Structure 1
């Protein structure tokens, strides 16, 4: 029964549900879940900032209780639950949630482990310095205001922000029928892109991407692959794969994977707990223990591995199953003029610049209005107190008036003033009527007129307005810009990585204990012969650098182990390290057996080039003098666990491997100073599984120390170096061609002073030489400083060694033309005093060639083939 006078309106329930649901969804879309494209804020965040602005808790004021701020926002602008306001404010203060936090919180504001913040009665907050820029000029009529929920106050519909907040902080929100998920970006990069857009409105997205390279997440990490980034910038949608920042360490006698940065929005505690479960269920084998060693200095999660685990394999399992690899699905949806739109990078920049332009126009109009009002008042002052007579007249009018209204009317009639001018005269303090003050009023008037002229020029000139936007942005960049935190690993996607990695010259170093790194060649500087060198690498106790090779990033490296296996890496895949860093254990890069060691490396060009691999050969030498030649094609299809390169017999090991072109000559040197030279065709090409043939016959106690390949007999020379720092260059022709398998001829007179022969290299005048001592000192010198001398001599002192030091390795490097300016400094270092003596060049008098019967060298010239396995 309904009461008398009531009207019942029958409504179709389907229509009612439709309209109610549409109203609700529009409300969620427009005033809850989606940010405005201009200031990047949702209503709750805008209200928190405006509430704090109203309370005056700026970055230079003292903190205010969070409950006080929340209460103010709740009571004045945001009629929802207090938790919604407090949670929004807490997130605005978390440095791992926002790339550039807007609230400066004091107290417990939660953690990356998902711990809740303390209750709002315990915490305090104020605005961050950067938020002052979001609120800048709010009082200059730059934005529209609207009534609050009960029409008792007004609030801004958008902030006049100088910060491209939507770009730099991103946002996420779930509306009805749509969602948004926008990535944060680096402020410096974003402003560079916006400035480039202002300079050229026709700029393409690809050109913008030269400035704003990729998203930049507050928690750092690595963006793995670039395709998703490109999609997101071009279309507003894209899937970006994020990886934790990982490195390997040795803890005690175990290998460990150390995570120092985790992907954005990953809960650290949950991630560790989930990984522990996977380890327990044996989904991820090889992990011995997981520890969270994070502290106030930074994040550090330790995955300690079992002794038999291969770090790279475990790491790949972690990427696959745990959240140290996640993805961030970009979906750029924001409100443009109150309607949700999907936006690409250029759209975002365009809307922000438009907003800034409108703010500048409105601010200038406001300042112009204020300036004109002030000028109007100053004109009144000058009419009334311009001369002594006028002033006396005005004072007389005021004195003889019965009340202020009469005085005002009198002034208006006498001096032809407006109401405002007359009131300002009446409000003047007597002190302003002195002569000095009058001068000040005239100066202020002049200043105001200049300002009005300038402001009118800004309003008339669009180019000037855009120049102002640009300058203000550059100022913001100088103030708040920082380095990017997220690295980009371009190799992760389908994209060709070579396009993104410059093909620059690098030096690869491998230490005796198997640590490898690549260093830009420019880090090494040139010194003259006889210099003492500068510190090259910090290695572990009793470790020293054993191999050095010059390469470029796009080349390939083949690694040959002493057990006869071959592994394969691109040069850019070898981790970069500074000149003084230790590098990474090779075991972590390739799956080499624990008891094996890399003994040779070959730098090759593109292994996918069929003609190249068919034309080139790999020649290998073992310690006992066995030589083997195989076509490079046999090594052009790498396998993760390596391929067999040569069968190694007992008490032998692979010593070196070199690339030949089919018509090269081979020279093999031994510890006792012997050397043999023969054409490479004397060793015919065999398959990968063969043993090889005799290359040189050895005396008792002698062993092979190296092999070189000669391609240009006229210009190339043979360099040999002994362990105590003696060396010399000899013409190749000084060594006669013999058959393989002979004993060879003397190459350096070995004495106690010279020490055993340790290295043989093929050099020309254009080459440089890198010498590394066992103490870790490196010296780089030009070969043009060493003259070519006879074969059977002791040579010259190549490097001055301190007591008990000896040479560990030498390598040929190309001399870099860009380092000439360092040569003067190098010459200064040449005179450095070592062990109380001035370093000078020393040359040893050559002994007579005839002193050694050369005939003994021909003893086996007919070439023994007793270990020829073919």
Structure 2
């Protein structure tokens, strides 16, 4: 064991220095220094480039290391070491955490680093930096582009040996696009991500109209666009955050109810709120089920893969999936809140910023960057022009230049004589002395003259930019547009004014067998109402003098009960059984024709190729049955049989190549049946003229068709109820939905009745360029039409002429229907 050596006594001339300080004052000053360091050097982003110092240093170091997207990946540890050793002496753990976040697509709306390896998941952390690799992604290049053109200021690093940028040029409005979060001393920031295209549109609008209001900007930026998608419910908090910099909004998972097994419903979750991982949701659901606080769930599966999130929650039979989903929203992280606190550094000071202030700070930064870049490029071109002009002078008197240089004692002597004899500047003379003789040819002179002209044009261009603020702002706008076009992606997060049609927790889990209506729209959406009250449908003026509805046309409606079953009739002559509980419910206040919240038919049923949905039917044994017509002019009446052991069955035997064009459930048996053919012939006759047949019958002749003609419409209705006929003419060679054609609305009373199996009467006079009826409809008025996507289409006033020609359409009509009340009695 080593012996301890006693310390030597202090020398006789040693004088002890003890300074008395106030402990409170020392604590205050030390705490302020620490707080200042955290606020300005670690926690808060700069409002110009939206980056914290560590993020900025990572991107700058990777750019300096030339780790571009076209180069290979390097170990993350190498990047972390470079950043820590040169610019950020705060520990490798903090640097790697920041680097990982710049890689993760569920953390940033627009990631800046391309990672290779395990960079974690929403629930798990990444692998160690020695296992992962990284390089810059393309958006990162836009953040550092032109940094070497004097666009930003540089400052000394922590030890004064190197310099680092105080801010990046940042061609991307990163602070709004990717958001930020951080906790400083006495303050914090929490900013939501947004859609790049929307933010760029708002900035460009601000360039054109600097006095734009918040409402003007919110037309372009309606709300956050979270990397994980999902829904935002309630927009009041968003507007408050955009106005004041502080607010709160509710995030909700994207979930739908569907059949997970042939006999069991389930809730499929495809998107979760921002910063919520699937394992967190699974753990919470299991805890609630085990404690019996959450009922109705039989199983939970995590089928998430590389294609995306997929949580399947199976519902016990007899439980209302919508009510279970409401409980999940209330009791699990499937619904979470986001508190907005837009705190960022502006001119070195922490400020709380609204939407317009955030856009203005970024815009001012880009204007400065583009101005400094233009000045740098202008000066560079001027310096080059100065050298070229000197070289042209030398080439003109090349023999004298060579003789002068040869006669000089040394380089310094030659340098001075060139300046004196040819009136050259110091730089021009130095450049001529360094020039290779091979450049002193006639061809080089031509090249130099061309280069000089190009440089002068370039200088004039930059002078114009620097002297015209409008031109400068236009360049900023154009560059932002190019950024949005290159890196922009569609919106992922759905914005909802309210909770939509989601059932509240007060709704019982057991679904009551209450009366309701099931509605089918012309665009293929299905939904059920909350009760059997026919909604009031207010008319809307699509144009002056024409009262037409604003929403999707209701193709069919049927009265049933919430636990009942109905049938869907298709163009293949099939009845497909549907459970009403499988369909989403509309709230009592919903405008039913819009079917907002309705479920697309293709998500419930798998139709055959070319098969189209036509109408809904109930399995009421007291009903007079169905009436249907086919393309070849066949008509049939049949009572639909309820076959509980089958999911679908045929109600007509169709000939090869034939299909059903229309089908209606009869209410009284006294309805009028109507055919309209492609050659503009209309035939109607009583339903009593058609003898009912069994399910396997093939029907009987309904309308006599001319050669090459076919039936385009079949319907059944009470002719005494102000019925109307709508016919749309066009070209048989045009693609459906691409040609507007002409349309005519005629009272049904203008057409005389004729016997079954006859040819009918003309209902539309075809004009030049028209050879067929592309669409026809007859039923209780007033007729309502819709175009692409269910948008309202204008129809002309009623024309009493039976065989008159139509009026040109402003847009193609894809569907026509009658008011909902006319379909349900």
- Note whether the superposition's TM-score is higher than 0.5: yes
Shift of 1:765: 5.7
Correspondence 1:286 to 2:227: no
Q: Which residue of 1 aligns with 2:576?
A: 543
Shift of 1:408: 1.3
Q: Which residue of 2 aligns with 1:491?
A: 498
Correspondence 1:215 to 2:224: yes
Q: Which residue of 2 aligns with 1:402?
A: 409
Correspondence 1:153 to 2:153: no
* 1:8-407 mapped onto 2 (5 Å cutoff): 8-112=18-122, 114-252=123-261, 253-385=263-395, 387=396, 390-407=397-414
CA 1:412–1:624 in 2, change beyond 3 Å: closer, same or farther?
closer
Q: Which residue of 2 aligns with 1:575?
A: 597
2:412 and 2:207 mapped to 1: Cα distance?
A: 55
Q: Which residue of 2 aligns with 1:420?
A: 427
Question: Does structure 2 conserve the Cα–Cα contact (< 8 Å) formed by 1:226 and 1:492?
Answer: no
Q: Aligned to 1:477, what secondary structure does the other structure show?
A: helix
1:49-69: CA deviation from partner (whole Å, max 9, x where unpaired): 011011010122221111111
Q: Which piece of structure 1 moves more, 407-416 or 27-36? A: 407-416
In structure 2, list runs of 5 or more residues that go unmatched: 1-8, 502-519, 532-548, 556-567, 607-615, 627-636, 640-664, 676-680, 694-698, 703-713, 729-735, 738-742, 761-777, 787-792, 796-806, 815-825
1:30 and 1:39 mapped to 2: Cα distance?
A: 14
Question: Does structure 2 conserve the Cα–Cα contact (< 8 Å) formed by 1:515 and 1:583?
Answer: no
Shift of 1:400: 2.7
1:421 and 1:393 mapped to 2: Cα distance?
A: 16
2:40 and 2:810 mapped to 1: Cα distance?
A: 67
CA 1:513–1:100 in 2, change beyond 3 Å: closer, same or farther?
closer
CA 1:30–1:508 in 2, change beyond 3 Å: closer, same or farther?
same
1:299-334: CA deviation from partner (whole Å, max 9, x where unpaired): 100001111211001000000001111111111000
Q: Aligned to 2:46, what secondary structure does the other structure show?
A: coil
CA 1:751–1:728 in 2, change beyond 3 Å: closer, same or farther?
farther
Q: Which residue of 2 aligns with 1:482?
A: 489
1:399-443: CA deviation from partner (whole Å, max 9, x where unpaired): 233332222122122212122111100111111100000111111
1:494-528: CA deviation from partner (whole Å, max 9, x where unpaired): 9xxxxxxxxxx964868899999x9964899xxxx
Q: Aligned to 1:412, what secondary structure does the other structure show?
A: helix
Q: Which residue of 1 aligns with 2:691?
A: 750
Question: Does structure 1 conserve the Cα–Cα contact (< 8 Å) formed by 2:586 and 2:597?
Answer: no
2:723 and 2:202 mapped to 1: Cα distance?
A: 48
2:473 and 2:371 mapped to 1: Cα distance?
A: 10
1:706 corresponds, among 664, 667, 678, to 667
* 1:734-773 mapped onto 2 (5 Å cutoff): 747-748=688-689, 750=691, 753=699, 760-762=717-719, 764=722, 766-768=724-726
2:472 corresponds, among 460, 465, 475, to 465
Question: Does structure 2 conserve the Cα–Cα contact (< 8 Å) formed by 1:512 and 1:543?
Answer: no
1:68-111: CA deviation from partner (whole Å, max 9, x where unpaired): 11111011000011011111001100011000000011111111
Q: Aligned to 1:230, what secondary structure does the other structure show?
A: helix
1:257 and 1:546 mapped to 2: Cα distance?
A: 17
1:605-636: CA deviation from partner (whole Å, max 9, x where unpaired): xxxxxxxxxxxxxxxxx9659xxxxxxxxxxx
CA 1:2–1:194 in 2, change beyond 3 Å: closer, same or farther?
farther
Q: Which residue of 2 aligns with 1:685?
A: none
1:451 corresponds, among 458, 461, 465, to 458
2:810 and 2:240 mapped to 1: Cα distance?
A: 49
1:620-672: CA deviation from partner (whole Å, max 9, x where unpaired): xx9659xxxxxxxxxxxxxxxxxxxxxxxxxxx999xxxxxxxxxxxxxxx89
TM-score normalized by the length of structure 1: 0.66
TM-score normalized by the length of structure 2: 0.70
In structure 1, list runs of 5 or more residues that go unmatched: 495-504, 525-534, 548-554, 559-566, 585-596, 601-621, 626-652, 656-670, 674-703, 709-716, 732-745, 771-777, 799-808, 828-870
Question: Does structure 1 conserve the Cα–Cα contact (< 8 Å) formed by 2:526 and 2:601?
Answer: no
Question: Does structure 2 conserve the Cα–Cα contact (< 8 Å) formed by 1:45 and 1:89?
Answer: yes
Q: Which residue of 2 aligns with 1:587?
A: none
Shift of 1:767: 4.5
Q: Aligned to 1:247, what secondary structure does the other structure show?
A: strand
1:574 and 1:149 mapped to 2: Cα distance?
A: 58
* 1:714-729 mapped onto 2 (5 Å cutoff): 719-720=672-673, 729=684
Shift of 1:472: 0.7
